[in-house]
Amino acid sequence: MEDRFNREIIERKAESIRRASRPKTLGVLIVIFVGILIVMVGSLASYYYYTFQKQGTASEQNIRDNWSDVVVATVDLANSFGQVKTFADLSADTTGSFKEKLNTTTRSLRDVLYNFQDGNSYVFSGNSFISRLNSFLDDYLAYLRELQRVIDNGAAGTIKEISAVDELMKLGGKMNESYDNLLISDKNRVVQANLPRELFEMPNNVKVLIETNLLDQKKIEEADKAAIDAAVLVVTKFVQAYSDKDAEAMKIYLTPQAESEFRPALVLDNALEIKNFKAIDTRKLSETKIEIDGQIDKETPDGKTITEKRLFAMLKVGDKWLIDSWDTM
């Protein structure tokens, strides 16, 4: 009886111990689970942080590399422009010329812009820096295209007023503003090399070259007009002497070669009365050669008017314009 009583006591104590140990075991399991969860979350966070950090660093380096291409191309362009002294230098289409460097720079910027606009390659492609970077390159290219157009028009002689560079000045200012905005937005100091200030001074310098070229053209045009007017006056006097049938006076306006070939008897015999003369077209071929298309109206004995067209080839001999030939057209 006593053994039975002792056994019951022992079983009750064992059961009590089992019940008491269950909450402790559960707590330990929960602690272990939470610990494992924290380790997993920490590991994932570290992985993604490392991955995005690495990707962001690679993206920034990619931008720096491409920006370096922009800087190098711009420095080359600015250095080339530094060799330009006249509009003729600006518009020269030769190896090593500014125009050649302008074309090279434009191609380089297009390549860089294409790379920058591939937004998927940049972790921070949606931020203001990338947006302003693209805007600046767009404005830079627009300026270069307009500069090319102005140079081509100037070389073709179609620029007659300085207002032809208004759009170039406008785009130059816009490019400058875009660049300032880009630098302000560059919080990470991705742009480590600045563009030369000569780029932003270029529009004003180009305007000066255009203004000088227009003044030079005006002087040339005035000189050409004065030369043509003098040549036309010589022909007019020659035709007047022809109308007067004055062979000696006609010879005064002929070059030595033309005078040696002049046959007054053949020219003046049966000459009709000259009623009118006018120069219908003129061409200055060089500093010593001018061509004049002349129209001479003559009247026949029966009162009819006939028109005779002649090409007067003029040569400058000393400081005088003389007729070298006056062939029928």
Q: What is the pTM of this model?
A: 0.69
**What letter represents residue 315's amino acid?**
L
Higher pLDDT, 6 or 86: 86
| Residue-range domain boundaries for the chain | 68-196, 223-328
Look over the chain and give the mean of its residue pLDDT values, rounded to a whole number: 84
- Considering only 36-50, 150-164, 237-251, 264-278, which range has the smallest mean pLDDT? 36-50
Q: What does the pLDDT average to over 79-106?
A: 95
The C-alpha atoms of residue 141 and residue 117 are separated, in whole angstroms, by 14
Q: What is the pLDDT of residue 282?
A: 97
Q: What is the pLDDT of residue 236?
A: 97
The CATH T-level fold of domain 223-328 is: Nuclear Transport Factor 2; Chain: A, (3.10.450)
Residue 36 has pLDDT above 70, yes or no: no
Q: What does the pLDDT average to over 238-247?
A: 93
| Residue-wise pLDDT tens digits, 228-238 | 999 999 999 99
Q: What is the pLDDT of residue 297?
A: 93
Higher pLDDT, 28 or 190: 190
The C-alpha atoms of residue 147 and residue 141 are separated, in whole angstroms, by 10
Which candidate, 102, 88, 182, 96, places its Cα nearest to that of 134? 182
Q: What is the pLDDT of residue 50?
A: 42
